Amino acid sequence: MMHCGFFRADAQTAEHWVQKGILAEKSGDTKNALEYYTQAINLEPTLATAWYNRGVTRTKLKQYSMAVVDLNKCIFIDTGYKEAYFSRALALWRTGNLQFALTDVSRYINYFPANTEAREMRYIIALEAEDWDMAIQDLKWREKDNPQGILYEHLAALYEKAGKPADAVFFMEKALSFSPDSTLLQLKAAAMFQRIGKYVRSMEFLNRILLQDSLEVSFVSEVQHLKADNYFYMKDYISAADIYTTLLQKDTGNANIMADYGHCLLQQEKYTEAEIVLTRALKSKNISPSYAYLGRGMARLKLGDGEAACSDWEKSYKLGEKTAKKYLDTYCNKKE
């Protein structure tokens, strides 16, 4: 009987150490709390609560990898330990294991679908993991109780990233219904419509912005640049070139406008001028030099300097311009 009582006391002692750890944490003594949970685990290795609490404490101490190990053990002992999935998701997120973190927090949300903290965490992880559909799911869940213009603006951006332009348009229009007079939102809408190929709709917003009496100078330049780009995409190269020229007269060192203007000259078959302008863009440290190298290569090919063209396309491709690969394969990488 004494032996039986002894083993019963051990089990109670393990629970005692867990409770002591919890009290220590409440008082801010996380270091000793960790020791108390370890004592509990040593006494009763199958006590899921001890593994869980030590895992949570290790997360607080930023010992994320060790926290994952503890929480793995907790879930192995008790697969129904719901809170452990949330805590492990947090530790996995901190160690950069985004997909596993999404799996765990999603399982937790299946248990507690109305948990705002879990929804917020999954949304942030989904953004980092570029899981746009998952991020959309959590934003739309938030929409039902708190529809806001900024929420619809974010949904529009996510749908665009997810490759769903029709949905992006729908939610951008909803965002605009909340703030129809916001210049900044109209500018964002114009840029988004341009990116998804709705150039006429983009122009409507840009022209509306330009009708404002007290428009800031910085906005005017950005709006005009977007207008020029729209004209370019609509193949109205003369109108585009006129605006690019005007912008460059006001901002002579703007390398990005130079690059756009250079490509516009290419489309008008003004190859010598295009090469000069694109070279200036590259010397002015264009923030997207791959585009300028691509265009200058095209101009140089037309001017009969194939070797220099291939050199430019090689640089363009190395800088991330995938289109350059087509020119390299067509004109530079021919098998003898």
- For residue 222, pLDDT over 80 is answered with yes
- For residue 12, pLDDT over 80 is answered with no
Q: Please tell me the distance from the alpha carbon of residue 180 to that of residue 333, in angstroms, as a whole number.
A: 53
Are 27 and 116 in a shared domain? Answer: yes
Rg of the chain's alpha carbons, rounded to an integer?
Answer: 30
Are 175 and 282 in a shared domain? Answer: no
User: What one-character-per-residue DSSP string does 19-75 give?
Assistant: HHHHHHHHTT-HHHHHHHHHHHHHH-TT-HHHHHHHHHHHHHTT-HHHHHHHHHHHH
Confidence label for 334 from pLDDT (cuts 50, 70 and 90): low
Confidence label for 6 from pLDDT (cuts 50, 70 and 90): very low
What was the pLDDT predicted at 154?
96
Q: Among residues 187, 215, 234, which one ends one of the domains?
A: 234
Q: Please tell me the distance from the alpha carbon of residue 103 to that of residue 121, in angstroms, as a whole number.
A: 12
Report how far apart, in Å, the C-alpha atoms of 150 and of each of 133, 172, 175, 269, 276 are.
18, 10, 7, 44, 43
Task: Quote the domain boundaries for residue 44.
Answer: 10-129
Are 33 and 122 in a shared domain? Answer: yes
- For residue 143, pLDDT over 90 is answered with no
Confidence label for 174 from pLDDT (cuts 50, 70 and 90): very high
Q: Please tell me the distance from the alpha carbon of residue 184 to that of residue 222, in angstroms, as a whole number.
A: 11
CATH number at residue 267: 1.25.40.10
- Residue 1 resides in a domain: no
Q: Among residues 195, 214, 234, which one ends one of the domains?
A: 234
Are 248 and 221 in a shared domain? Answer: no
- Residue 85 resides in a domain: yes
Average pLDDT of the residues in 186-194: 96
* Beta strand spans in 63-134 (E): none
Confidence label for 333 from pLDDT (cuts 50, 70 and 90): confident
